């Protein structure tokens, strides 16, 4: 079974399974397509994602106005995505090289640990920002201390610490190991016992996805319900409309970020769970082996895509992010911004005069 940049597949276990499935069809032609297309796709995602997340970091770092609580979480999310994307070119080359790892043991460990760090920090930062929106709309009168910026920074630090902590086993047990039957030296997770690999994947699926996803869904559905109630109230009483309108727009942006995260990462975690069942021989046979082989590649590339989607969401759906970006870039390109503003006003006056 091929090693995905995101999975903890043990080649030693799989070689045993493969030896028991001697009648499996030869799909080398399909794998040649994977070796050709997947690295190109990963590299394209890296370029787009790194530029996009760098833009987000520049805007949030150089903006004169202090960051709001939700923006603190989103900035940390951009940092996690940026770190993740810097590791992916190594894995693109690994796939292009038919999973023969050419970069040595240290990069095998460090890039794998960085990938796992991103996977934990990203989802728990989304839990935090979803909770922030939940407190804003559902517990409006009691959320002040919990939603303070100091508290948000503390939560971010705890999230990073937790991500580093759970990445230590990946850094410890990742190694480059030679497999003479395939004539490759692969970057794999080499646990002392096969049960360790199964336990680690189960913990990853539950603690790294299932439990935080339940929290995210609960917070967001509660927030949606509260927003619907607030909308009905605002129609009756038009008080504090502007502030609530801004909060609603920020919440819609976060809904999009959360939705895209779940859409991109759910297939990956589904195949991770199926792989656990395959290793435990709950499911077996050529069909499942090949389904997991190609499913892991598809779900990994879909999960990778999420790291470049957030900046696109901010630009196209984040009105206030665009305003911050305009303010930041006006500091460096004042003449361009000024000329565009003058053109906009001249067009508006022309239309008004014609009318």
Query: Which residues, 6 or more positions from 132, have their beta carbon under 8 angstroms from its beta carbon?
Result: 69, 70, 73, 147, 152
* Spatial contact of 276 and 202, defined as CB atoms under 8 Å apart: yes
* Spatial contact of 323 and 246, defined as CB atoms under 8 Å apart: no
Q: Nearest-5° angle of CA 316, CA 311, CA 245?
A: 50
pLDDT at residue number 344: 43
Flag residues of the chain having pLDDT under 70.
1-26, 140-147, 230-250, 333-355
Integer distance in angstroms from the first to the last C-alpha of the chain?
68
Beta strand 184-189 pairing with 174-179: antiparallel
| Mean pLDDT (the chain, rounded) | 81
Closest CA to 5 of 70, 87, 83, 72: 87
Question: How far is 218 from 212, CA to CA, in rounded Å?
Answer: 10
Question: How far is 172 from 189, CA to CA, in rounded Å?
Answer: 9
Evaluate the CA torsion angle 200, 205, 206, 209 in order and state its sign.
positive
Instruction: Enumerate the β-bridge partners of residue 187.
Output: 176
* Spatial contact of 314 and 51, defined as CB atoms under 8 Å apart: no
Using DSSP, state whether 148 is helix, strand or coil: coil
pTM for this prediction: 0.82
pLDDT at residue number 167: 94
Instruction: Enumerate the β-bridge partners of residue 176.
Output: 187
Question: How far is 198 from 6, CA to CA, in rounded Å?
Answer: 15
pLDDT at residue number 346: 43
Q: Radius of gyration over alpha carbons of the chain, in Å?
A: 24
Q: Which domains does the chain have, with CATH numbers?
A: 11-327 (1.20.1070.10)
Q: What is the DSSP letter of 146?
A: T
* pLDDT tens string 89-101: 999 999 999 899 9
Instruction: Enumerate the β-bridge partners of residue 184.
Output: 179
């Amino acid at each position: 079974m091929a090693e995905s940049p995101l999975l903890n597949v043990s080649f030693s276990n799989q070689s045993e399974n493969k030896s028991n499935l001697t009648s499996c069809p030869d799909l080398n032609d399909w794998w040649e397509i994977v070796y050709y297309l997947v690295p190109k796709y990963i590299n394209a995602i890296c370029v787009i994602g790194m530029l996009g997340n760098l833009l987000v970091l520049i805007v949030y770092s150089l903006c004169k106005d202090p960051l709001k609580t939700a923006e603190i979480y989103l900035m940390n999310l951009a940092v996690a995505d940026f770190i993740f994307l810097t590791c992916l070119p190594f894995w693109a080359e690994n796939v292009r090289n038919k999973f023969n790892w050419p970069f040595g043991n240290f990069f095998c460990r460090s890039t794998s640990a960085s990938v796992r760090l991103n996977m934990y920090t990203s989802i728990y930062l989304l839990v935090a920002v979803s909770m922030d929106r939940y407190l804003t709309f559902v517990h409006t009168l009691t959320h002040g201390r919990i939603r303070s910026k100091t508290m948000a920074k503390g939560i971010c630090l705890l999230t990073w610490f937790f991500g580093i902590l759970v990445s230590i086993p990946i850094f410890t047990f990742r190694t480059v190991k030679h497999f003479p039957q395939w004539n490759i030296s692969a970057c794999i997770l080499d646990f002392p016992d096969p049960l360790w690999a199964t336990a680690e994947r189960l913990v990853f699926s539950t603690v790294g996805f299932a439990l935080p996803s339940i929290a995210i869904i609960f917070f967001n559905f509660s927030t949606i319900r509260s927003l619907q109630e607030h909308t009905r109230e605002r129609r009756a009483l038009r008080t504090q409309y502007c502030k609530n309108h801004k909060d609603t727009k920020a919440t819609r942006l976060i809904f999009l970020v959360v939705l895209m995260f779940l859409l991109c990462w759910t297939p990956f975690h589904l195949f991770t769970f199926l792989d656990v069942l395959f290793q435990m021989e709950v499911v077996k046979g050529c069909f499942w082996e090949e389904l997991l082989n190609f499913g892991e590649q598809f779900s990994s590339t879909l999960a990778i895509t999420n790291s470049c989607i957030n900046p696109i969401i901010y630009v196209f759906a984040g009105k206030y992010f665009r305003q911050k970006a305009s303010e930041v870039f006006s500091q460096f390109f004042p003449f361009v911004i000024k000329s565009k503003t003058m053109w906009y006003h001249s067009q508006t006056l022309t239309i008004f005069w014609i009318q």
